[in-house]
Structures are given as structure tokens and as C-alpha cells.
Amino acid sequence: MHLSFRKAITVAAALALPLSLSTPAGAAPVDDVFAKLLVKQVKGANVKKHLDAFQAIATANGGTRAAGTPGYDASRDYVAGKLRKAGYKVTLQPINYVDSWTENSPPVLGSYVPNEDFFTFQPSPAGDVTAQVQGVDLTLPPTPTPTSTSGCEMSDFSGFVAGRIALIQRGTCPFATKVRNAGAAGASGIIVFNEGQPGRTEAFPLDLGEWRAGVPMVFADFAVGNALAGTPGAGVRLKVDATLVLGTNENVIAESRFGDPNNVVMAGAHLDSVPEGPGINDNGSGSAAILETALQMRHFPVRNKVRFAFWAAEEIGLLGSDQYVEKLPQAQRDRVKLYLNFDMVASPNYAYKLYDGDDSDSTGSPAGPPGSAEIERQLKAFFTGRSLPTVGTDFDGRSDYGPFIAVGIPSGGIFTGAEQLKTAEEAAMFGGTAGVAYDVCYHQACDTVANVNATALDVNADAIADSVARYAFNTRDIPGREAASAARAAVRTATGSAAS
């Protein structure tokens, strides 16, 4: 038996009994003891071994680990095999993605000109429907700058009549969100039209990567949408003639044998790369770090159930995490206390970025669900303890925290930067080169093991181990879901009052 393994077992056994008791006066909190132990166990050199394995997998499979490729399947099997051997309960959850889409003939939208006045949204399902058009929370005339929230919330469809064609305005949330909501509201077809400001009037071909509304959908000029909105009760024919073929991949979900199943702590990272490269920083780095964390804490008698998720098809629309959350019954969602996301944690020109849970940066998206601010503070405490600076990064919806935030689950995590340029202020804080991308090989073939910063990988692996261990034993700072729901309701009420 390895010495470090014996040490872990000895400490775990010694602390197993006090887990059910109050911490004695003067004793270190259990979560602090276990966090320090796990940080010592999770070594950057071992995380790097997983990256080497991902690189070897990509090299043997055409240079990629993208969804739908043998490289992804081999990555899935590598992770699942390690976790099963470590004693975790491992589930391979099937998820769908678009394998291929072909438009067979031009679309139809009344008398408008296809591929000029409007375009089929790729990958729209086929369909031919004639029905009344109903506008959804439109802002007409448009405001001088983009403000439309048409279709962004299910509440926008509160008066929508199922079976009608939803008329939705482009605006401040993703197209995919709008069409998913329309499909859930029972629309028989979907027309999204451009918002109407200068530069936002004409339609164009667009791949949403989203098909799950299950109905034909098109993107139209502002003039088309404005005309349809100005004719209440008007009916129109909408037709899309296309062939959509879906593929299947699997999320890898691993759950601890110990812990309260009613209080689940989740840590996730996407396992797929883009087709163009092996994806070693994006996101072999996050996957390798949480894998090593899971392997080293496998014998910890945790208080809370710990669930590690390795997401499929993130690079083509957060499909793995989105379908996971979508399929999770509400009772199971309510048991997920928090979600930690680790996507790109070893960028070569790195900055230590923590998701801005409290919106203290006042940039972009609002604060995360109640509890997200506490997660940010917990992560920051680790870096502060090592005299390392951090900066905030916005919940901009580009990674797998998005579906969790959307259903009110507190979220946070670490990010070291992608294609954006490092600022002079960040270069002064973290070193590196200002005016150069955090990751110059982002989404390229050169995102190999040579594209990883060993210092950032080692520090962030420790930070991940620290946060997972602490929450595995103590989530008292995270508000209960009832309190969080009440807080969200209060915010919605205040926002609605301000808007009126």
C-alpha cells in the first residue's frame, strides 16, 4: 500500500466519527483538515499524466477528441475506467447532438423571398405548417440599442396559444434560448426576426446548433417581422424541407459512495474538444484536474454526496450539461446544493479568473443564483491564502454553468482565459504578455500538451481540490433552495416594478 494512501485512510478513519458531531473547541474544522489533506494529495504532475493520456488519445484518433469522434469515445472510456476502478458509481448518460443536417429545398414563409427576406435556421427540423402568427413580448418600434427580451423567459409565453407560429424578436439572449422556450410553449413553428437597429435589420444564414424545439424555424429580416406583427391575427405558411440526423454521445457522471444524497455537491468540466484539435487546455485541463481530485478523495468519508461530471458536446452548444439538467427531475435538481465549473484552467498566458457570483464587477450578465457569491468568496480565499491575486470573469453563458444557473443552482468556478487579449493590468498581476491572447492556440490544432502552463495547472488543481473538499463536508454558507427561490422572486418583483 502506498504511503500517501495509508495516510489518507488513517486520517479518514480518525475523522469519520467526529463527522457526525460538533467540532471540539479549538480543533480545526473537519472541512479545513480534509481540504488541506486533499490539496497535498492532488499533484500537478499527476494531473499532467491525464493530459498526456488525452494527448495520446487525440494523436491516435486523427488529432481530435470532438463529440461524435472515436477520440471522444476513448476519452470517455479513459475517464470512466479510472473512476470505476476508484470505486465511484459511474453512469454514462446518453445525450444527442446534430450529426448532419441538409436543406433539401428552399424554405417557405408566406410570399416572402427565401434566402433573401429570411433563411432557415440550421439545424431546423423539417415541417410544413399553416397557422396564425402570434408575437411574443415584442419591442416595437425597436429601442436605439438592443434591449429586446422577446422569448428569453418562459413567462414571455404566458398568453401564447399552443399551435400558433411564434413571432420572436432578436435581442439580448441567445437565439437558442428563444427557440427552446417557444418549443416548450407549444409553438407549431418559429419565426425570429432581426431586432431593428442599424446593423441589425437583415437576416442571414445562422447555425444555432439547436433543434430541440422540434418544429420548423427561420430567421427573418426586421421588415418581415414588423409587417407580421402589424397584422394581428394573420396566418402564414411556414415550411422547412431538411434532413436532420442526430448522433449520440455520453456524459460521464461519477458519484461518491459516501455522503448525504439530499445534499449533492457537483464539480464539472467538459471532456470534448473542437474538431480542429486535441483540446488539451480546452478542456483537458479542467477534466484532468477534477479527475485527479476525484481519484484522490475516493476514500474520504464525506458528509455530502459528491458528483463529478465530464460533459459531452460542450463545444457545440453546451449539449451535455444542458440535457443533463433538462432531464433531471425537479426533486433531484433541488438536491444539488451547488455546481463548480472548471473550463480551461491552464492557459499559457493565464490569469486567475473567478466567476463573478455577486456581479461586483458590474459587467455583462447579472449575479448568479443566491449562493454564487459565497462560492466566489470561498475560491478567492484559497488564492488569498497563497498571496495570489484574482480577477472576476462574467457569467457570459459560454460554459457548462449556464444550464445550472438557468434553473437557480448556485454556481462558480475558475477560468484562465481563452481568445481574448490579456490586459496590461493583468500582466502586472499575473505576469505573461499584455496584448496577447490568454490562449493563442484556442480552438486550434496547436492546443496540445505544449500549450499548457504548468504553474497555472498546479495552482488551479490545488484550488479545485480545496473547494471540492470543503463543500464535500460543509455547505452551510450556501442558502437553502427555498431561501434562494424567495430571493429570486424578490429580484423579479423589483425588476418588474422598475420596468413598469
Catalytic residue positions, numbered: 314
Residue 94, all three cell numbers: 446518453
- Supply 124's cell numbers: 431546423
Helices (H), 86-213: 175-184
**Spatial separation of the C-alpha atoms in residues 410 and 392, rounded to whole Å:** 16
**Residue corresponding to grid cell 446518453:** 94
Going by C-beta distance under 8 Å and a sequence separation of 6 or more, which residues neighbour residue 244? 98, 100, 101, 123, 124, 125, 126, 211
Kindly report the backbone phi and psi dihedral angles of residue 169, in degrees, each rounded to the nearest multiple of 5, phi listed first. -100, 135
Q: What is the secondary structure of 243-298 as a DSSP string?
A: EEEEEEEEEEEEE-SSSEEEEEEEEEEE--B-TTS--IIIIIHHHHHHHHHHHHTT
**C-alpha to C-alpha distance for 54 and 66, rounded to whole angstroms:** 12
Helix axes 285-296, 44-60, angle to 10 degrees: 130
Beta-carbon neighbour count of residue 207 at 10 Å?
Answer: 12
DSSP class of residue 426?
A: H
Q: Does residue 125 sit in helix, strand or coil?
A: coil
From 399, 365, 395, select the one nearest 282 (Cα to Cα): 399
DSSP of 66-94, one letter per residue?
BTTSHHHHHHHHHHHHHHHHTT-EEEEEE
State the residue for C-alpha cell 457526525: 20
Please name which of 156, 209, 208 lies closest in space to residue 187, comparing C-alpha atoms: 156
* Distance of alpha carbon 195 from alpha carbon 454, whole angstroms: 45
Cβ neighbour number for residue 111 with a 10 Å cutoff: 8
Q: CA quadruple 289, 291, 292, 298: dihedral positive or negative?
A: positive
Q: Cβ(222)–Cβ(148) under 8 Å?
A: no
